[in-house]
Structure 1
Amino acid sequence: MTEGIKLTSKQLELLKILYNEGKPMEIYSVEKSQERLAKELKVTRQALSFHLKTLREMGLIRTGRGFIDLTKKALEVLGNGKDNKAYIFVKIDPTKRKHVYEKIKMIEGIKAYRVTGNIDMVIEVERARFEEVLDKISSIEGVRETISHFVIEPVA
């Protein structure tokens, strides 16, 4: 699907900046001024405008007043598609399980599963939100330990 897409180094760098600052949904959305983006890329506003127009024409971004969205196609170009997940394994103090479950239910944008074995819960989160979610989980009273894993690539 990404065959035939040829990007300049600045366009690729721009996609990476937008991705790193994006908010994951079905797309990554960035609320940043073009002036600020141009400064980060060390290009003029006109040059940035050219790159944004090219990325928009390729179907890699959508733009509007005050926002830039990366499309699913852009995530595939960056290698950050659906398999860009982090998994947090959580060990919980048995006397605080109910409290921990209630707090974890309040964290948006995750999937949490109670499991058997030597851990109590597995939490699936987009890699872009990993640190934010890990900070929230780690601060919950009753969480004894967290162990994190990232998907490298699908096997099947």
Structure 2
Amino acid sequence: MQIGHICTTNTVTCSAETTILEAAKMMRQYHVGTLIVVEEINGMRVPQGIVTDRDIVVIVLAESLDPKSIKVMDIMKAELMTALATEDIFETIERMRYKGVRRIPVVDKHGGLAGIVSVDDIWKFLAKEVTELSEVTTRQQSREKVSRSR
């Protein structure tokens, strides 16, 4: 299955120029812990970075920095990993595990933002797959009972 099928398409974004205070307010308003930092390029929102609520706490607040003067670009993850919407889920899992990241932007074939996928999204997908797999035994037993009764 492709990662684009399980990603969250309703993403919350900001620009690199957004202040940390504004970013925190957006996170509160939209009930999210992650903002995707985007740049508008040829009419597309192209991911440039990610900033999380943890980044704000650990980098800004714990260091007593001013969230009104620090910008998202000052703390966002420098090396952004993305996944193509057509990429296989298990390939994405492997790359996330290797890099140690819990969430990544998903992009279309042109590099435009298509969504975001998190470890939680992947857990939900895998749980559903395991549940469906567990039903194989039940179905097999039912079929055997029917065939024996003939």
Q: TM-score, normalised by structure 1?
A: 0.22
Greater Rg over alpha carbons, structure: 2
In terms of fraction of residues, the more helix-rich structure is: 2
Q: TM-score, normalised by structure 2?
A: 0.22
Greater relative CO, 1 or 2 (CA 8 Å, sep 6+):
2
